[in-house]
Structure 1
Amino acid sequence: MKIPKFIRQNLLLKMTSLNAATIVIRLVVTFFVNREITDVISKGGYAKIGNLRNLIAQLTSFTSLGVFNGVVKYVAEHKENKEQLQKLFSTTFVFTTLGSIITFVALFFGASFFSEYYFNSSDFVYIIKLTAIVIPFISIQRVFSGVINGLSEYKSFAKIELVAYLVSAALTIVFLFYKELDGVLISIALAPVVQVLVMMFLVVKILREYVQFSQLKWQAPLAKSLFAFTIMSFFSTLLLNQVEIEIRNMIENKISEDEAGIWTGLMFISKNYMVFSNALLTLYVLPKFSGIYNKPDFMKELGSIYKTLLPLFAVGMFLVYLFRDVAIDLVFKGDYSAMSPLFRWQLLGDFIRLAAILLASQFIAKKMVYNFIFTEVLSLALFYGFAYYFVDIYGIEGVTIAHFLRYIIYFIVVFVLILRYFKKQNKKAQLK
């Protein structure tokens, strides 16, 4: 089928259409797999799966010391400069090695503690140790993804995501019927291995062209530049997932384990449709913003992105809301009907979130570390604070109300800080 001309002429729309096709396939498979999981596993077990996914997300950042966005930025800026790229990858090699060793030691030898913390049980020590063994694959996958994103190789990215996900999904189904909850947890822990193997098979030529593996040195000439991204990653990925774990535990303690499973299911759906925007952020928005240095060009590009993405996202969210009960019945087995009233606030919050994180990408593109940290900490503190307060009044719906209110405030603060940044840049230009 021929792609319409207006899509072919717009890179963002081309990425969006290809990404959307990939995600539609992924969603169909995801819903099937999730339905099988919830048929076998209780809501309490489903909450444990949510905690392991949060742990893997934290490790994805920490094992590479958070250099993903730095790799995207500098590969986008220096893809024609082999010398600069070699400095980047040597520094990344040092960062990922140190991050992987520290994380492995902590997880493997502290497996009993982490099993109790994440699963409220000592029965899953072996899952924590298995995750520790897989750590090198987690860091490698993260760095190589950064290279693919920095080069804006969106076709390759789509292939990797789809093939890796299909293989992981098949693995999950096999392990589910073999060992139920334990099997699902094992498949989640092994997913990074699958992703690396698929990536090496599909894009090894691209990686070899830009990453000179034989010339990597135990040196970190760009350590200072990448360390800024390490700090930003800590406050975004690590703290974000930690707050989700704490909120899930709070729901379990204040209401019930089943309600924690309901909220985990809602977050599962939310994260799946937000995958669409997250991929575009690293493939298009971050590389684009990295090359823009003045307010008029930034506002023009931001306006173009908003006009392209927000209407599509709004229509998609409206359809999700309209057919939420159908979606719940398709994605989950058992009684998850308590999720239905939660969609209103979650979808509204996610829409504002998309607008806000598109804007906040400028913090990463321009290494505005203090602004990034301030807004992330503010956002997470507001989320936990509002959730803790509202859950006593509205029950589990209070958590989604907190989500909505948090992003309204976050968007306003980010917008003000971006305007202040360009105002300062303008003054500096005038002084010169």
Structure 2
Amino acid sequence: MKIPESIKGNILLKMTSLNAGVIGVRLVISLFIQRLLAEIVGEAGIAKIGSLRNLLEMLSSFASVGIFSGVVKYVAEYQNNKEQLQKLFSTTFVFTVLGTIVVSAVLFIGSDYLSTTIFESSDYIYLIKLLAVMVPFISMYRIFNGIVNGLSRYKKLAGIDLFSYIISAILTVVLLLTNNIDGALIAIAITPALQFFVLLFIFIKVLREYVQFSQLTFKMPMAKGLLAFSLMSFFSTVLLNYVEIDIRVMIQNRININDAGIWTAMTNISKNYMVFSSAIFTLYVLPKFASIHNKNDFKAELFNIYKTLLPLFGVGMLLIYFLRDYVIMIIYPDFHGMESLFKWQLLGDFIRLAALVLGYQFLAKKMVRNFIFSEVLSLALFYGFAYYFVDIYGVEGVVIAHFLRYFIYFFVVLYLVFRYFKKQRKKES
């Protein structure tokens, strides 16, 4: 049977198919690790691991000064312009050095406070100090990963992602079995260093081709353009993870730490299938939207993305929902009370996917005020709804808040994006 040319030539579908294979392998490994973690560290341990992952996400943004999306955008635009690329990388170099020094110092000095605030115990001061040592690797991996994404080398990126994930998984299992929860936390903390060396090993030739390391200067000719992305990253990454940590602590205080672990387990399942979309956003959606300058072309591309991604995600999410009892039995057998969370989490994630595709127009066109407004609104809705509904519905109230937040967010982003094109048309006329 001959495959239609429209399907054979669909780059997004090719990326999706390749990504599906990588994510499939990752998912199998993740299921095994999550099951092992659930059996050994329980709900309380899962909650701590969730908080550490949130902290790592925040550090990734702070250490690289939040310019990941900016690097992706400008590398995609200037990949054939060596002069502009050198300006970009010099600016990135300065930002990264400053971000690394500040973040490492804050972690060392504030290790006691951060341990008590995030983990509600001073037992994890050693972990915060370990993260301080990891900060240079976190920032360099983030920047180099942005370059790879900007060049749209999705096949090599898939290989990097899979190989580093397998090594990290092996390390996690070994340290978990030998040192329990502390071992798992240490493995997660040093994962960024592993990711960095794997990326460097696989992609060093291409990096040398585009980045003239010997010619990097301590100047910032593109500071203004990248700072816009720094500001957007603060609201999208840092505040999001801060809110998640705060909500986890709220569940722990208002209900108990076991329910905090159950909610974290639900978000872990969510992140496992949502990671399927994250590479597509940075490899395809962001560069594509950056090159589109009129409403009709944008609508056509948006429709193409939706018709490719939404049915795939919809079918996958329906399977997860109807097989939820088996999913719980396989991954989190003793996490009673998770069943009721699936409906609202999956509905929220489906709308979230549709909204995030639209929202990447903010990054592509540096619509800073629109981006910040929509992100602050989204986080405020989640925070407010979660605090209100948790007293009525218990931990299920948090996933109801997740659904309501993205339902409102989608329509707000839809309005803002098409208002942008309306304004552009008025300027041109």
- Shorter-chain TM range is over 0.9
CA distance in 1, matches of 2:112, 2:300: 53
What SS does the corresponding residue of 2:197 show, helix, strand or coil?
helix
Distance 1:104 1:114, change over 3 A: same
- Bigger shift: 324-333 or 10-19? 324-333
Aligned letter for 1:86?
Q
Question: Does the CA-based 8 Å contact 1:168-1:194 persist in structure 2?
Answer: yes
What residue in structure 1 maps to residue 68 of structure 2? Answer: 68
1:25: Cα distance to partner?
0.2
CA distance in 1, matches of 2:69, 2:379: 20
What residue in structure 2 maps to residue 241 of structure 1? Answer: 241
RMSD: 1.1
What SS does the corresponding residue of 1:219 show, helix, strand or coil?
coil
1:8: Cα distance to partner?
3.2
The correspondence of residues 283-302 of structure 1 with structure 2, limited to 5 A, is 283-302=283-302
1:422 equivalent to 2:416? Answer no
What residue in structure 2 maps to residue 404 of structure 1? Answer: 403
Aligned letter for 1:226?
L
What residue in structure 1 maps to residue 365 of structure 2? Answer: 366
CA distance in 2, matches of 1:5, 1:320: 32
Aligned letter for 2:297?
D
Identical columns (%): 61
CA distance in 1, matches of 2:61, 2:322: 35
1:82 equivalent to 2:82? Answer yes
CA distance in 1, matches of 2:188, 2:53: 7
1:336: Cα distance to partner?
1.1
Aligned letter for 1:345?
W
What SS does the corresponding residue of 2:105 show, helix, strand or coil?
helix
What residue in structure 2 maps to residue 179 of structure 1? Answer: 179
CA distance in 2, matches of 1:3, 1:382: 45
CA distance in 1, matches of 2:332, 2:259: 14
CA distance in 2, matches of 1:328, 1:144: 37
1:107 equivalent to 2:107? Answer yes
CA distance in 2, matches of 1:20, 1:357: 19
1:103-153: per-residue Cα shift (whole Å, max 9, x none)?
000001111111111111111110000000010000000001100100110
What residue in structure 1 maps to residue 325 of structure 2? Answer: 325
1:4: Cα distance to partner?
8.3
What residue in structure 2 maps to residue 207 of structure 1? Answer: 207
1:332: Cα distance to partner?
2.0
The correspondence of residues 237-276 of structure 1 with structure 2, limited to 5 A, is 237-276=237-276
1:329: Cα distance to partner?
1.5
CA distance in 2, matches of 1:171, 1:329: 25
CA distance in 2, matches of 1:327, 1:211: 45
What residue in structure 1 maps to residue 148 of structure 2? Answer: 148
1:46-90: per-residue Cα shift (whole Å, max 9, x none)?
101110000000001110000100000000000000000000000
Aligned letter for 2:216?
L
Aligned letter for 1:414?
V
CA distance in 2, matches of 1:394, 1:283: 39
What SS does the corresponding residue of 1:128 show, helix, strand or coil?
helix
1:337: Cα distance to partner?
3.0
What residue in structure 1 maps to residue 380 of structure 2? Answer: 381
The correspondence of residues 17-96 of structure 1 with structure 2, limited to 5 A, is 17-96=17-96
CA distance in 2, matches of 1:279, 1:230: 20
Question: Does the CA-based 8 Å contact 1:325-1:337 persist in structure 2?
Answer: no
1:298: Cα distance to partner?
0.5
1:349 equivalent to 2:356? Answer no
Question: Does the CA-based 8 Å contact 1:66-1:229 persist in structure 2?
Answer: yes
CA distance in 2, matches of 1:83, 1:391: 54
What SS does the corresponding residue of 2:218 show, helix, strand or coil?
coil
1:161 equivalent to 2:151? Answer no
Aligned letter for 1:43?
E
1:42: Cα distance to partner?
2.3
1:6: Cα distance to partner?
5.2
1:5: Cα distance to partner?
6.0
Q: TM-score, normalised by structure 2?
A: 0.98
What residue in structure 2 maps to residue 279 of structure 1? Answer: 279
What SS does the corresponding residue of 2:122 show, helix, strand or coil?
coil
5+ long unaligned stretches in structure 2 = none
5+ long unaligned stretches in structure 1 = none
1:306-341: per-residue Cα shift (whole Å, max 9, x none)?
0111011100100010111111111124x1131111
1:383: Cα distance to partner?
0.2
> How many residue pairs align between the two structures?
428
